[in-house]
């Protein structure tokens, strides 16, 4: 049968509409959607038939029937209405996975967001007077209590926090920074570029691996607006190195009436060394050292929503609050609700470790991860052509935090000669709740460190479904 004959077999739109299935689709969606889907599917069929590389041998003529066309329309419309941003299962073993949304919210934070989404809220109104209130009042006191800072402010992310601070403190002035701290912060954004947008002028001192106090002081001119320290949370320089302690930098800077700013990045509130993690400087330590303004992220080690948190001296925070740029960088009611609920868990650190998912994953024992792995394995079927094993491995923290740290985990490995690991990973990403895995030594890895206990049964169901299709 030639191309012309095949094209004639494609039913007319009215003929397709007369099928019983079309009425069901129209009721589920709309007549407009139904017509759009029919045109999309039939146009694709015509394009396929008319293609230069068309092969009648490999072409399924059943796909030209009205009933089959309507099946394709249903798939098309389902994909159209499926949200692009959907829940996913993180089986990569990267706890703070930027591409998968970084930190999961604690139950109380998610509930707080839901409450302000379904009701009007006290976002910017004073309960006592009924007059306009302060947008940030719900979080300022708890941030000050946890960090020891005189004042605080919240913007929409840490890059915004750094930009605002520099725009207010050092616009058209020079900001002195160590060459070893000119980091890229993710998404190809780099500290020098953020500084440039703020209007500050970058002055690099020291070398990549060594900087001394005299380097900062020798760079001071009448145009110096601030010293900037950037915590290299996403990489480490080891070996022949030298850095300047915050206290030393602050003492000499303040003698010259120069403010010191620190970008802590990950923003850890409490030291986690007792849980087997390496030392990371806490926000309170920077405040205690006399740093004038400290910025950090809300959705990394803090375990809350995306936000840029600024803490420090009241006289500088007041300047930030009155700068026009703050209006463009302010956070919405959902962020504030989630952040307040997250911060309140830190009033009792045991509560925070148990209830904030990021902290819980970072501090839980290897035995608990193994229990989740064994539970998953118990739900999986046996397959002649696939080798499934539970093995020990190491996971990563991610999000530019603890760059050299590996944490113990348990993984499910899937190996087969029927299908490549890359293709299997692709198929798992196409499931109703997409599953993101990793590949190691040509094997597919499902890392249980980042899989929630509530996701185990669904994960097993989807893995079984995908593997059955390949048998």
- DSSP notation for 397-425: --TTSSTT-EEEEEEEEEE-SSS-HHHHH
pLDDT at 238 over 80: no
Q: How confident is the model at residue 294 (pLDDT cuts 50, 70, 90)?
A: very high
* CATH number at 89-98+362-470: 3.90.1150.110
**Which residue has tokens 């397709």?**
16
Residue 191: how many CA atoms within 13 Å on its side-chain side?
Answer: 23
Give residue 191's pLDDT: 67
Q: How confident is the model at residue 3 (pLDDT cuts 50, 70, 90)?
A: confident
Question: Order of strands, edge to edge, in the sheet holding 201-205?
Answer: 151-155, 308-312, 293-297, 260-265, 224-230, 174-178, 201-205
Give residue 58's pLDDT: 82
More confident residue, 208 or 66: 66
Domains of the chain, by residue range, sit at 3-81, 89-98+362-470, 107-353
pLDDT at 187 over 70: no
Query: Which DSSP letter does residue 306 get?
Result: S
**Among 88-102, 120-134, 391-405, which is the least confidently predicted range?**
391-405
What burial class does residue 119 get, using C-beta atoms within 10 Å of its C-beta: 0-12 exposed, 13-18 middle, 19+ buried? exposed
β-bridge pairing 224-230 and 201-205? unpaired
Give residue 197's pLDDT: 75
Give residue 306's pLDDT: 96
**Which residue has tokens 């070996």?**
239
Kindly state the helix (H) or strand (E) to which residue 33 belongs, with its residue range. helix 31-50
Give residue 240's pLDDT: 57
Query: Which DSSP letter does residue 281 get?
Result: -
Q: What percent of the chain has pLDDT over 70?
A: 96
Give residue 185's pLDDT: 58
pLDDT at 110 over 80: yes
More confident residue, 433 or 57: 433
Give residue 267's pLDDT: 83
pLDDT average, residue stretch 333-356: 95
pLDDT average, residue stretch 362-388: 96
Return the closest-CA partner of residue 82 out of 465, 466, 432, 436. Answer: 432
pLDDT average, residue stretch 439-467: 97
pLDDT single digits (tens) 296-319: 999 999 999 999 999 999 999 999
pLDDT at 189 over 60: no
Decide if 398 contacts 388 (C-beta within 8 A).
no
pLDDT average, residue stretch 438-458: 97
Q: How confident is the model at residue 38 (pLDDT cuts 50, 70, 90)?
A: very high
Three-class secondary structure of residue 246 per DSSP:
helix
Strand partners, 412: 390, 446
C-alpha distances in angstroms, 148 versus 144, 145, 246, 314, 410? Answer: 5, 6, 16, 12, 39
Quote the pTM value. 0.87
The highest-level CATH class for domain 107-353 is alpha beta
More confident residue, 7 or 197: 7
pLDDT single digits (tens) 205-219: 887 778 889 999 999
Give residue 184's pLDDT: 62
**Among 12-16, 223-227, 240-244, which is the least confidently predicted range?**
240-244
- Within 8 A by CB and 6+ apart from 408, the residues are 366, 369, 392, 394, 395
pLDDT average, residue stretch 272-283: 90
**Which residue has tokens 């509930």?**
111
pLDDT average, residue stretch 322-347: 96
**Which residue has tokens 């394009």?**
47
Give residue 442's pLDDT: 93
Give residue 236's pLDDT: 56
Kindly state the helix (H) or strand (E) to which residue 295 belongs, with its residue range. strand 293-297
Q: How confident is the model at residue 181 (pLDDT cuts 50, 70, 90)?
A: confident
Taking every pair of Cα atoms in the chain, the longest distance, rounded to a whole number of angstroms, is 90
3-state DSSP helix/strand/coil % of the chain, to nearest 5: 45, 15, 35
Give residue 186's pLDDT: 55
Report the mean per-residue pLDDT for the chain. 91
**Among 46-50, 162-166, 191-195, 266-270, which is the least confidently predicted range?**
191-195
């Amino acid at each position: 049968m030639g191309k012309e004959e095949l094209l004639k077999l494609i039913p007319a739109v009215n003929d397709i509409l007369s099928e019983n299935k079309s009425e069901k689709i129209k009721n589920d969606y709309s007549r407009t959607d139904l017509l759009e889907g029919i045109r999309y599917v039939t146009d694709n069929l015509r394009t396929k038939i008319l293609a230069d590389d068309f092969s009648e041998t490999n072409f399924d003529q059943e796909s030209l029937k009205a009933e089959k066309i309507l099946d394709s329309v249903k798939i098309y419309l389902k994909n159209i209405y499926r949200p692009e941003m959907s829940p996913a299962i993180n089986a990569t073993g990267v706890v703070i996975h930027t591409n998968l949304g970084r930190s999961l919210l604690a139950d109380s934070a998610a509930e707080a967001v839901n409450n302000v989404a379904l009701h009007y809220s006290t976002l910017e109104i004073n309960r006592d007077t009924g007059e306009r209130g302060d947008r940030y009042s719900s979080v300022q006191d708890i941030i000050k209590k946890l960090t020891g800072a005189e004042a605080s402010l919240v913007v929409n992310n840490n890059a915004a926090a750094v930009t605002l601070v520099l725009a207010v403190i050092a616009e058209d002035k020079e900001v002195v920074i160590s060459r070893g701290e000119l980091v890229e912060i993710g998404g190809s954004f780099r500290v020098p570029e953020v500084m440039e947008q703020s209007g500050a002028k970058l002055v690099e001192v020291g070398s990549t691996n060594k900087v001394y106090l005299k380097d900062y002081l020798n760079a001071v001119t009448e145009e110096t607006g601030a010293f900037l320290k950037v915590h290299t949370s996403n990489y480490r320089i080891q070996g022949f190195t030298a850095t300047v302690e915050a206290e030393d930098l602050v003492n000499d800077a303040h003698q010259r009436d120069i403010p010191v700013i620190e970008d802590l990045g990950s923003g850890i509130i409490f030291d986690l060394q007792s849980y087997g993690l390496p030392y990371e400087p806490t926000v309170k330590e920077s405040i205690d050292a006399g740093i004038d303004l400290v910025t950090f992220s809300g959705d990394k080690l803090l375990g809350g929503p995306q936000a840029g948190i600024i803490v420090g001296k009241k006289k500088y925070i007041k300047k930030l609050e009155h700068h026009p740029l703050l209006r463009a960088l302010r956070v919405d009611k959902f962020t504030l609700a989630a952040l307040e609920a997250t911060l309140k868990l830190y009033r009792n650190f045991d509560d925070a470790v148990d209830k904030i998912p990021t902290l819980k994953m970072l501090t839980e024992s290897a035995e608990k991860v193994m229990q989740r792995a064994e539970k998953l394995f118990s739900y999986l079927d046996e397959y002649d052509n696939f080798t499934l094993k539970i093995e020990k491995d190491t996971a990563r923290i991610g999000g530019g935090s603890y760059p050299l740290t590996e944490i113990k985990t348990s993984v499910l490995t899937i190996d087969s000669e029927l299908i490549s690991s890359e293709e299997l990973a692709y198929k798992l990403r196409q499931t109703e709740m997409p599953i993101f895995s990793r590949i190691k030594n040509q094997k597919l890895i499902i890392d249980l460190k980042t899989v929630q206990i509530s996701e185990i049964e669904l994960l097993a169901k989807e893995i079984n479904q995908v593997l059955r299709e390949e048998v």
